[in-house]
């Protein structure tokens, strides 16, 4: 699936090369040349992943990574560090700061895309095209198809995204605010009760296959997807 990737890189040639290869892989690149510019972009809307150069004008990439990890709103954004530093100590330092992966320059575009895919699969599985099957319910992002015990289920686009997120984060309780941020986007201002409306629509669509009970209400907390 298409992911929004914030590229924080001050060298125009490298920035353009990364953006080109991201587009070729079906992703949407956002660009920033400094930590300050990156923070302004993140303030407006959260990216799905940050590709972050170590050496930046002003605040360094390491400082930006620390700030992102320290903020409740941005702490879960996957981060991949880009740097010419290859010493083991530097790699350990980047990972201890909170980076999810580390790519040493020069790197091949194929390696970069593969690492992005691996990090998204681990940290943001809802951004991948991997099929998910739980409790007899199957969702395939690549074909946009959902089935319960082999029977097709028709979902609207919002219900599809909602189900995909819940299925890729099973057994966890999600508040309405968290679901709004993850499914609608934290830059979209809608009432939390909107989530309830779409949960009802989702359950209604799942009822004919007997899978509505997989989407559970946790009183006073939110919703959970569980096969148990």
pLDDT in tens, 15-31: 999 999 999 999 999 99
- Identify the three-state secondary structure at position 87: coil
pLDDT of the residue at 44: 83
pLDDT digits (tens, 9 = 90+) for 70-105: 998 898 899 999 887 666 666 676 777 888 998 888
For residue 92, the model assigns a pLDDT of 74
pLDDT of residue 187: 63
- How many residues does the structure list for the chain? 228
What are the mean pLDDT values of the chain's consecutive 10-residue runs (228 residues total)?
Answer: 88 94 93 96 88 91 92 89 75 78 89 90 77 96 94 95 93 88 74 91 97 95 92
- Measured at the alpha carbon of residue 199, what is the angle toward residues 194 and 205, in degrees to the nearest 5? 130
Give DSSP secondary structure letters for 22-72.
Answer: HHHTT-EEEEESSHHHHHHHHHHS--SEEEEESS-SSS-HHHHHHHHHHST
The predicted pLDDT at position 228 comes to 80
pTM reported for the whole predicted model? 0.66
pLDDT of amino acid 206: 97
């Amino acid at each position: 699936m298409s992911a929004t990737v914030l590229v924080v890189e001050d060298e125009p040639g490298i920035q353009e090369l990364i953006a080109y290869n991201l587009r070729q892989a079906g992703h949407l690149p956002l660009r920033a040349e400094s930590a300050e510019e990156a923070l302004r972009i993140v303030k407006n809307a959260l990216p799905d992943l940050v590709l972050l150069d170590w050496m930046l004008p002003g605040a360094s990439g390491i400082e930006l990574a620390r700030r992102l990890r320290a903020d409740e709103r941005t702490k879960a954004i996957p981060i991949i560090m880009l740097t010419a530093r290859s010493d083991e100590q530097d790699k350990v330092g980047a990972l201890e700061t909170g980076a999810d992966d580390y790519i040493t320059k020069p790197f091949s575009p194929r390696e970069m895309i593969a690492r992005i895919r691996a990090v998204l699969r681990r940290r943001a599985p809802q951004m991948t095209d991997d099929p998910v099957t739980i409790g007899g319910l199957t969702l395939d992002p690549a074909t946009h198809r959902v089935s319960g015990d082999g029977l097709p289920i028709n979902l609207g686009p919002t219900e599809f995204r909602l189900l995909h997120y819940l299925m890729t984060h099973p057994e966890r309780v999600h508040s309405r605010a968290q679901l709004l941020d993850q499914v609608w986007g934290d830059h979209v201002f809608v009432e939390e009760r909107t989530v309830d409306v779409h949960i009802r629509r989702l359950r209604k669509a799942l009822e004919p296959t007997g899978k509505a009970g997989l989407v559970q209400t946790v009183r006073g907390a939110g919703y959970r997807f569980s096969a148990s």
